[in-house]
Every structure is written in structure tokens, then in C-alpha cells.
Amino acid sequence: MAGRLDGYRILILETREEAQFSRLLAEQGADVLQCPMVAIVDAPDPAPVAAWIDRLIARPFDDLVLTTGEGLRRLLKLARSLGRDAEFIAAIGRTRRFARGPKPGRALREIGLDADVTTETPTSEGIMATLARYDLGGRVVGLQLYPDKDHAALVGAIEAQGATVDTVLPYAYDPRAAEENVINAIDEMAGGRVDAIALTSSNQFRRLLDVSQARGCEDRLRQALLTTPIASVGPVVSDELRQHGFTPAITPPEGAFFMKPLISAMSTALSGRAPRTAASA
């Protein structure tokens, strides 16, 4: 598949997981137009986060579950502002560290530490499956959360193993701060400068609609989507599109609803079609 997207400009709507998607597309030669859908900001109220850091330093948790690299970096940023970063890192070093996939592991290595355990699947379900293999009875588990996710099931699963859970949410998403990114993406599609838009979640499409409605350019978005091939990762996204009158032009094979099959499907669908950027040059 290498090189089969050379010259094609692919628009992706970035949320937390899209860095990997961007990298995979670039590896296949695509010109990736990234549209961050949200801005990441510090927690609006730093007091609960600072208190969590204090508890960790005063009595390091038995286990620490890191769900995102961004979360650890934000915690370290606050600890540094409090003049406690060295104590914070030392306390983390005294815990058993679980990482939800590779990203928290990379953030740990930035401070000279490693994950003791990395989940096979970087999801809440992956965390639960991994922790289920350990005896957590009577242990204190520090759990770093991330925004826009109901973590009740994860917390409940850990508590059901007999552990005490101490949670922290060190950052927030500010969608309004990223509205200009969305408007620019709409303009690029409307101007014929995008070969395909790739959607990996229904939330991305709803966000497009919400911003276009708020900014008075919904008609422009609709026209842009009618002339720009839409690549959908799977049936949930496709159903959302159809509910609003759009049909995906590109989908992966049945049962292969993942990023790599979607990229392969785009390569096949766009092959032989002149890139729009080349045509406009």
C-alpha cells in the first residue's frame, strides 16, 4: 500500500486519537490536512488537582493508572508550578504504574520512568481487563481521567476488586477555542482543495455540523460535503451521515472497521483520480 496516497490531500478531524491516524496516512504518502476539533486546556479549577498531587507525594499510591500522556504532562506542569516536581516524580516512581497503551508510557519515559504494565488495548475496557489479572484488594489506586468520558464503569470495576480509587482530571477540552480550525477545514473542502475527508467517529461529524450552524455556514458545509468524497471508518459513522442526507463514498471491508483498512480503501478509491491539488496547480 506504500505510496498509493502520494499527492492526495486528506482532511482528518483531530480528537485525542487522531495523531496515529495522521501518522499512518503520512506513511502512505498523503498530504494530511489536520483539523484539531478541540483545544486542550488546564483544569479550570487547579485546587483538586493540586490536592491529588499532595496526596500522592504524602503517601504514594500502591498503583497508578495513567490513561493519557497528556494527563501526566499536565500533572507535571502543575507540580512544577508548585515547586514539587521532584517530589512528584519520586512518588510516581514508588507506585506500580499501569499505562493505557503506549502514549502514557512515552510520557513516563520523559521523566525517567517506565510503565510496569501496558494494556494490550488502549481503552477503558482494556484497563479493566488488565487490572482484573491483579489482586487489588486493600490497595489504593490513583486513576488519571480524561475529559468527555464517563468513567463510572472503570472506577466501579476497580472498586469491585476491593481497591480504593483516587481520581484526578488534570485537563479539559475547550471546543470553542478550535472553531476557527473547523471553519478553515470547511473552506478548504468548499474550495476544492481536499481529495477526501476521513471520519473515524460520529462525534466528528456532529461537531462539523454544530460549528457550521453556530457560524452560519451550514449550507457551505453541505455543498462541500457533496463534492468531497467522504471516507467512513464504519457503520456508526455511516449511519450518522445518512441521517443527515450524506452517503459515504469510501468504507473499509465489512468487519474491518479500523484505521488501516480505511486507509487502504481510500488508496483504492482514489487510485487513478488526479489529486485536486495537482489539478488546481
User: What is the spatial distance between Cα 210 and Cα 51, in angstroms, rounded to a whole number?
Assistant: 36
The CATH number of whichever domain residue 98 belongs to comes to 3.40.50.10090
Print burial letters for 22-58: b (CB count within 10 Å at least 16), e (below 16): beebeebebbbbbbbbbebeebeeeeebbebbebbbe
Q: Tell me, yes or no, whether 152 lies in a domain.
A: yes
Are 50 and 164 in a shared domain? yes
Identify whether the C-beta of residue 165 lies closer than 8 Å to the C-beta of residue 204.
no
User: What is the spatial distance between Cα 165 and Cα 152, in angstroms, rounded to a whole number?
Assistant: 11
Tell me which residue of 131, 57, 138 sits closest to 97, measured CA to CA. 131
Are 149 and 77 in a shared domain? yes
Domain assignment of residue 263, given as a range: 9-40+175-280
Are 52 and 164 in a shared domain? yes
For the beta sheet containing 196-199, the strands, ordered from the edge strand earlier in sequence to the opposite edge, are 31-36, 9-14, 196-199, 230-232
User: What is the spatial distance between Cα 143 and Cα 43, in angstroms, rounded to a whole number?
Assistant: 16
Identify whether the C-beta of residue 209 lies closer than 8 Å to the C-beta of residue 13.
no
- Report CA dihedral (149, 178, 212, 193) to the nearest 10 degrees: -120
pLDDT per residue rounded down to tens, the chain (281 residues): 445 899 999 999 876 556 778 888 999 999 999 998 777 889 999 999 999 999 999 999 999 999 999 999 999 999 999 999 999 999 999 999 999 988 899 999 999 999 999 998 888 999 999 999 999 999 999 999 998 788 999 999 999 999 999 999 999 988 777 888 899 999 999 999 999 999 988 888 998 999 999 999 999 999 999 999 999 999 989 999 999 999 999 999 988 888 899 999 999 999 878 898 755 54
Are 149 and 48 in a shared domain? yes
Q: Tell me, yes or no, whether 2 lies in a domain.
A: no
DSSP label of 177: G
Are 116 and 164 in a shared domain? yes
Tell me which residue of 70, 64, 65 sits closest to 15, measured CA to CA. 70
Are 54 and 132 in a shared domain? yes
Are 56 and 79 in a shared domain? yes
Q: Tell me, yes or no, whether 4 lies in a domain.
A: no
Identify whether the C-beta of residue 178 lies closer than 8 Å to the C-beta of residue 38.
yes
Identify whether the C-beta of residue 269 lies closer than 8 Å to the C-beta of residue 249.
yes
User: What is the spatial distance between Cα 249 and Cα 257, in angstroms, rounded to a whole number?
Assistant: 15
Q: Left, alpha or beta for 56 (phi > 0: left; psi -120 to 50: alpha)? A: alpha
Q: Tell me, yes or no, whether 1 lies in a domain.
A: no
Are 158 and 226 in a shared domain? no
What is the number of structural domains in the chain? 2
Q: Tell me, yes or no, whether 3 lies in a domain.
A: no
Domain stop point among 169, 191, 217: 169
Are 187 and 158 in a shared domain? no
Are 190 and 243 in a shared domain? yes
Are 205 and 131 in a shared domain? no
Tell me which residue of 162, 89, 156, 106 sits closest to 128, measured CA to CA. 156
- A 10 A CB-CB count for 222 gives 16
Domain stop point among 169, 196, 219: 169
Domain stop point among 145, 169, 193: 169
Are 21 and 64 in a shared domain? no
